[in-house]
Structure formats: C-alpha cells, structure tokens
Structure 1
Amino acid sequence: MAAGISVKHGLLSSKTSLYHALHRNIVPHGVCIQRAASSTDFRVNEKFCLDLVRSRDYDGFVSSLLLPEEARRSSLALRAFNVELAQVKDSVSQKTIGLMRMQFWKTAIEEIYRDDPPNQPVSAELWRAVRKHYLTKRWLLRIITEREKDLEDRAYRNLQELETYSENTQSSLIYLLLECLGVKDVHADHAASHIGKAHGIVTCLRATPHHSSRRKVYLPMDVCMLHGASQEDFIRGSREQNVRDVVYDIASQAHVHLQHARSFSSKIQGAATPAFLQTVVLEDYLQRVRRADFDVFNPSLQKRNPLLPLQLYFRSWKNTY
C-alpha cells in the first residue's frame, strides 16, 4: 500500500508508509510522564496512545492516520481518551470502582485546563492537544458524564435514548476533531451530530453478539417490544425474523442519520471532511448487515474488512464523506 504515515521524531509526520504503520508492532509503555516532561517522555506518551487506539479502536486509528499532520497526533490523544472511558464499564466488577475511575478523569480534565496534567500518558497527550488547539472543555466533560451514566448497565429504553447517548459521546468526539482541524462551521456541526448518532447506533449493533454472549442486551427496548423480540432471544443468538426486524429498524435509523449528514456536504468547507472519515466504516457495516439479511449474529459481521484501510484512504484522497 503506497500511502500512510511514518513515525519521525515521535511524530506522525506524513502519509508515506501506511502499510508499515498499520502492521508495525509498537510496544505500549506504562511509563508515566513527569509534569515537566522531556521530549523523550512525550514520544513515549505518543506511542502509548497510538498503540492503545490501534489495538482497541482500529477503525478510529486508521481514520486518524489520514488526518492532516497538524491534527493527527491530537486525534489519537482524543481517541485514546475515548477508549480509556469506553473500557471502564467492561473492566470493573463493581459500579463504585467505575465511578471512581470516571471521577479520576473529571479531575484530570480540570487539571489539564490548569496546565497541571496527571502523571498519565493519555492525560499528557490530551493536555498537549488542548494547548495546541484550544479544545472546548465542555465536550470532554460531556463524554465523561455520559459514559458514567452507562455504568447503570441497562438497555436503552427507546431509540431516542440511544441517540442521545451517541450524541453526547460520539458526536462530542467529532466536535473536538473539528476543533483540531481548525473548523468552526454550523453545517459541519450539524453533520457531526448526525454522524455521531449513526456511529453510536452502529456500535450498539456491532457489539450485540459480544454482549449477548455475556447475557447482556442493550438494544432499545421499544423496538424490541414492537417486534415481539425478548432479551432472551438475543442472548441465545436467535436468527428468527422478529430479531432481524429489530436489527433492520435500528440499522435503518443509522442509515437515515448518514443521509442527513451527507445532505450538508455541499455547504461544508473541505477542511472539515477528514473528521468525517468514520462514515466509511459505518457505511461498510450497514452494507454488510444488509447483505446478511439483518442477521446480527452472522459470522461474516465479526470479521474485519481487509479493504477498509484502502477505502478510507480513497475517500480521504477524494476529500469526501
């Protein structure tokens, strides 16, 4: 593959070795930074975030590599922050412990904006991104607050509740990416809102087999009730028509949000489109679940599309979403 990035002086500086960047084994470093960090510390922190995102949010990792150089490292810091929050729910056995971790991040954000970040790699990189791009604190805190609510560990009552969660998490992340790109545009914000909602809905669908294997179901209850599908149907991996109908309705709503987001494309400045590359990933899943006749448990949906990095690069080259 002829396009990508290279790591030079600890910085993701060009798109000239995508294949090697995607397949290179970068060992994570647990070394904490000091408040007066050296250039070596910053390189360690950068590699820590890059590796974390590459291992836990591969689609977001590839999308970040294709951003302009001045926003690439900050994007990885934001996505690493998002990964840290997202994995709290699955990594704790007690809600109290999860709340303590969320409180750590709330405090960390306050300290970052006081130029006094905690001795933690993701916090250090986030501090760098905040200083460089003057990121809005409200979006960062909103992500934490919404992820904190997720510790309640219950299904969404309705589709609107899932959309609200997606807006407060995924859309907030895209608003921050737009700030990294120096974009302030109301049409771009509208597109970001819809893309974030689509992203959250698709993530909920993609995670259904994993959650079902752990006897958890988070799909909107109103849609399940509409088609007479119980939580037990999903837990046992049912592939009956009523289960497929639930998936169809939810996937259709994600598709509607993508269409709304693209309706703004002619009004949005080109500098904003790199923040919307995630639409390629969402579109890919929705197409594959449609080909699987909305059987969310179809094994083909659990496999990564090997052509996705190329598709993302092509969309980036065309500067469209």
Structure 2
Amino acid sequence: MAAGVKAKHGLLNISISHVYIFCRKIAPKNVCTQRATEIQSVRAVSNGTVGSDHSEKYCVDLVRSRDYEGFLCSLLLPKEVWRSCLTLKAFNVELAQVKDSVSQKTIGLMRMQFWKTALDDIYRDEPPNQPVGTELWKAVKKHNLTKRWLLRIVTEREKDLDDRAYRTLQELETYAEKTHSSLIYLLLECLGVRDVHADHAASHIGKAQGIVTCLRAIPYHSSRRKVYLPMDICMLHGASQEDFIRGSREQNVRDVVYDIASQAHAHLQHARSFSHNVPAAAFPAFLHTVGLEDYLQRVRKADFDVFHKSLQNRNPLLPIQLYIRSWRNIY
C-alpha cells in the first residue's frame, strides 16, 4: 500500500476541481490563455484545411486516431509550439504501437532500429523520408531538443518488446519514467522551460501516467490473454494472471488494483506538493493530469473493479472536453 494512504475509500479525496486549481496556480492568465484566433488556427490545421503539408497532416491524424486524449490536450497549447508538441506525441504513438502491430519480436526490433538510425540522421540534418521523421527534424531544429530523451524513449520501448509482465511495481515506474516522463521533458523544452522543479514534476507525472495507462489497459490486454501487471503486487494478494484473464472481480484482484492506483495517486500528490515552484510556462505540458485524476476517481468509485461497466462505457475524456470548453469561455 502506498505510504500515506490510510483507508481505501479515502485514497482519492481530491476532486477534479482541485486539479483545475493546481493548474491555475502554476498558470497565470497571461500565460495559460491563448487568443481565440490561435485556437481557430489550430483547429483549421488539425482539419487539414489550411497550410497543412502531408507530413504534418499525417502526424495530426495519427495522434487524433491513436491518442485522442493527447490530441485534445494539444488544442490548448500555444500556437507557436503546437506543431512541435504534436509531432512528439506522434513519435511516441509510432513507437508505442509497434508492440501490438508486429507478429514477431524480430520485426519490432527492426522498426526500433529504424528509429535509432533516424534519430542519428535527424541530428546530422539528414532526416528520413518519413512523415514523423521529417516533422521531428523540424522540431529538433526549432527547439534544440535533447537527443537523450528521444533515444531513451526508443530504447525503453524496445526493451518492452519482450512482452512480459513487470516483475515489480518499481520496474513499472522505471519504464514509465523513461517513456512518459521523457516525453514530458521534451514538451517542456518545446515550451522553452528548462527548470529543475518542472522536471521534478514531470518525472512524477510521467510515472503516474505510465501506471494509469497500465491499469486502463487491463480489460484490453485480458481479452488477448495477456497480463502486464507487477508480479510482486499480484503475489502479495494471491492474484494470478488467470484471474485477470477471466475478468475476476474478487477482492484480491481489487486489492492489486488498489495498491497500483495508490502509487499513481501518490505521484500526482507529490507533483502537486511543490507546484508553487513550477514555472507558469510549464503548465501546458501537464494538461493530461486532468484525465489521470478522472480515471483514478472513477476506479475508486467502482471499488477498484477495473472490469466495472462504468469504466468501460463512460467517455473517459469528458473532463478534458469540459476543460477545453471552460477555457473557451475565458476568451
């Protein structure tokens, strides 16, 4: 059980409104509010109707179809960094979908090697003739992005091709930090933020995102007879992989989910604990915390039953959509 969590139903006693308050605290009006014309321009580009070349449209369509929550969050980014940030999300999607799209590990390794070579070429100003690679080269040139973060995402995704469960919760956190947190570091660089406090927040938010993503994917992976949950937590509660594969709703299965969700919540709480030190300009990189908080609250209300119909049927992006509409009213 995560430190500081006393009672199961007291795990997530902070409402979505508290997330908004946290966001407001680190985002003064002159930073967080974009002009209405900027949003309209972004929408026009996202619809492929104005000034959109093939590579940009490819990235937009890829993120919109495979990471819709990330796409919605991108609509709130400043216009001058929107294209670069969306490119980074497209790069992440390209790598994330390799595992599920290949039938053999060897093929996956070949695709990961392509991206390692592509990154070397991009930093030699010789980008590959590939839409995401072309756009990534433009982003690297514009924002002087750190190659180490990009390469770390590729390397960690490559290791994940082994298609096995995480041995420990710490191993899951390490994977999340090297993938999700690295992406947030890059988003911060696009926003011109290079600050130790922002990086510290990004580290914890990325870990929370990786853990929540693992929980969200349980029903999908179970339907394919796969379980990636940390084995140490499963063993602690006597829950087998077969329990998840058959969609068990027994207490030991819920206890596993509770412990894992508690850790995600702890990371979000820790990130908020020093929010007053985070530069206001960093705020747009943390927009997706609204969706993370929403899922954790909903799984708590379902008594940590990840197979509950309320988690399958309700639109998990509703808080993000409401948040976007609330920002429109500012203009």
Same fold flag (TM > 0.5): yes
Aligned counterpart, 2:158: 148
Contact persistence 2:295–2:316 (CA under 8 A): no
Aligned counterpart, 2:292: 282
Aligned counterpart, 2:74: 64
Larger RCO, structure (CA 8 Å, separation 6 or more): 2
Aligned counterpart in structure 1 of residue 38 of structure 2, from 14, 18, 22 = 14
Contact persistence 1:209–1:237 (CA under 8 A): yes
Give me the whole-angstrom Cα distance separating, in 1, the residues matched to 2:117 and 2:251: 47
Matched, 1:78 2:93: no
- Percent identity between matched residues is 73
Aligned counterpart in structure 2 of residue 254 of structure 1, from 264, 270, 275 = 264
Structure 2 length normalisation: TM-score?
Answer: 0.84
Matched, 1:184 2:176: no
> Higher mean Cα deviation, 71-80 or 305-314?
305-314
Question: Do the aligned partners of residues 250 and 21 (structure 1) sit closer, same or farther apart at CA in structure 2, a change above 3 Å counting?
Answer: farther
Aligned-partner residue type, residue 126 of structure 1:
L
Contact persistence 1:57–1:83 (CA under 8 A): yes
How far is 1:308 from its partner? 2.6
Aligned counterpart, 2:207: 197
Question: Do the aligned partners of residues 111 and 16 (structure 1) sit closer, same or farther apart at CA in structure 2, a change above 3 Å counting?
Answer: same
Aligned counterpart in structure 1 of residue 149 of structure 2, from 139, 149, 157 = 139
Question: Do the aligned partners of residues 153 and 193 (structure 1) sit closer, same or farther apart at CA in structure 2, a change above 3 Å counting?
Answer: same
Query: Equivalences for 1:273-312 in 2 at 5 Å?
Result: 273-302=283-312, 303-305=314-316, 307-312=318-323
How far is 1:25 from its partner? 6.4
Question: Do the aligned partners of residues 105 and 220 (structure 1) sit closer, same or farther apart at CA in structure 2, a change above 3 Å counting?
Answer: same
**Residue ranges of structure 2 left out of the alignment (5+ in a row):** 1-32
Query: Equivalences for 1:21-36 in 2 at 5 Å?
Result: none
Give me the whole-angstrom Cα distance separating, in 2, the residues matched to 1:105 and 1:53: 18
Contact persistence 2:181–2:206 (CA under 8 A): yes
How far is 1:69 from its partner? 1.1
Aligned counterpart, 1:34: none
Aligned counterpart, 1:109: 119
Aligned counterpart in structure 1 of residue 220 of structure 2, from 193, 202, 210 = 210
Matched positions, count: 297
Structure 1 length normalisation: TM-score?
Answer: 0.87
Aligned-partner residue type, residue 301 of structure 1:
L
Q: Find the residue that maps to 1:161 and give its secondary structure.
A: helix
Give me the whole-angstrom Cα distance separating, in 1, the residues matched to 2:71 and 2:35: 12
Q: Find the residue that maps to 1:15 and give its secondary structure.
A: helix
How far is 1:307 from its partner? 2.6
Aligned-partner residue type, residue 264 of structure 2:
A
**Residue ranges of structure 1 left out of the alignment (5+ in a row):** 7-12, 28-38
Give me the whole-angstrom Cα distance separating, in 1, the residues matched to 2:326 and 2:201: 17
Matched, 1:127 2:137: yes
Matched, 1:313 2:324: yes
Aligned-partner residue type, residue 121 of structure 1:
P
Aligned counterpart, 1:30: none
